[in-house]
Structure 1
């Protein structure tokens, strides 16, 4: 039986404070971000069921995972957080570009972090990791398939607000916040659909299992949503609207010439 995936957006990072901070490479969490991790640690109801924690290899996601799911690692000292490059954020701006593997090995030495999959070039933002829709859709599907094939039954995945839409293929409220519909440390739970989809949200045929996810009714109720997740036809429309409106999908050069709204803080989230 395929696992349940508990998807989590990282806690507030320094780059979330203002768009000027987007030039900071691989930023750390803010003081509020650490508080958000403590709160998530307190309210997350499934610590005793989790048998795998995985995260994007950026520092803010790794620290969010280690702090928020500390009870999992305390209960199972043999567990290690698996850092998965396919879960990195979508754009190529400095704040969304990860550190070199050697730097990460030094920073997380002695911690419960498995960096074996973090290879040279994972942070190049080219090829598989390019900030273009085709590459983003493909690595999101690869991540879904990797998780679906895991033997564990309850998995936590900590990643980024923009990438979560590609990963879940859920584009509802895609611009509630700047570049995402997910607030910092928000978590939602998904199971794999019994339906077989042979095309992505742009209608392109996919080679093999799409590994489509469906948010659980309990998860939607937890965040105040009424009724089921929009169906696939509706998600195709929402996807088109989302990707057309996101400055986040622009290259660095294009972003430098684009007008990015400064926004304001609402409950610690940049909007």
Structure 2
């Protein structure tokens, strides 16, 4: 099963586009980056980006132990809540197992009956930053009762540990994205939301979807949603 972005609707979709407008083989994906987390706020306050390669891991703000599986800030919660006003109508919400994405999904789609499924394949790029570790699944479940946690989720964060302290190669992230696309292709839903992370989204768009549209390739702000139509052939 192959996948590609339909150039006809490669730009962000208008609010009026719904699943009923789709042609055969098409699906709508609402791609959502989580709201601002505590690690994002520290990076903003320090006017800093990752410095692991130049100054070493201990000096990178994303490796502050206080930001282990970080929560949303007040602004992050506001950003997530504002997504609920966008009028997005997915049939399924797919969420990264990290706390900030689960918080975002819960606030963006509050008190709904939309199924929410947690998938490891859409989590942030693995191995380098403390902020991208996740808690034990049993701990996460205590905080989030509504989502369905699949059997493929290990109790311990074995995926992160398999790369630590090196960064997960681009090719591995692309493969995760391709796995998700193939999985989506087999799903009955026509409109899905993916609540995930900026690093994953950048690699997903270019490496998995193979779309080079400048607007879709640019960096994602916290709490941002972009919608695309994917054609599965």
**TM-score > 0.5, shorter chain as reference:** yes
- Aligned-pair CA distance for 1:119: 2.2
Matches within 5 A, 1:48-197: 50-70=90-110, 73-74=111-112, 76=113, 79-92=114-127, 93-108=129-144, 111-116=145-150, 117-125=152-160, 131-169=168-206, 170=211, 172=214, 181-193=219-231
Instruction: Report the CA distance shift for 1:123/1:81 in structure 2 as closer, same or farther (over 3 A).
Output: farther
Instruction: Report the CA distance shift for 1:173/1:95 in structure 2 as closer, same or farther (over 3 A).
Output: farther
CA distance in 2, matches of 1:68, 1:175: 23
Maintained 8 Å contact 1:85/1:122: no
TM-score (norm 1): 0.60
3-state SS of paired residue (2:153) = coil
Instruction: Report the CA distance shift for 1:84/1:35 in structure 2 as closer, same or farther (over 3 A).
Output: same
CA distance in 2, matches of 1:158, 1:62: 8
CA distance in 2, matches of 1:150, 1:63: 24
Q: Whose RCO is larger (CA < 8 A, sep 6+)?
A: 2
TM-score (norm 2): 0.69
- Aligned-pair CA distance for 1:193: 3.4
Instruction: Report the CA distance shift for 1:122/1:2 in structure 2 as closer, same or farther (over 3 A).
Output: farther
Maintained 8 Å contact 2:135/2:157: no
Specify every segment of 5 or more residues in structure 1 that has no aligned partner in the other structure, as ranges. 197-271
3-state SS of paired residue (2:82) = helix
- Aligned-pair CA distance for 1:132: 1.2
Specify every segment of 5 or more residues in structure 2 that has no aligned partner in the other structure, as ranges. 1-24, 44-60
Match of 2:9 in 1: none
Match of 1:201 in 2: none
Instruction: Report the CA distance shift for 1:159/1:85 in structure 2 as closer, same or farther (over 3 A).
Output: same
- Aligned-pair CA distance for 1:175: 8.9
Question: What is the RMSD computed on CA atoms of the aligned residues?
Answer: 2.5
- Aligned-pair CA distance for 1:174: 8.7
3-state SS of paired residue (2:187) = coil
Match of 1:216 in 2: none
Number of aligned residues: 181
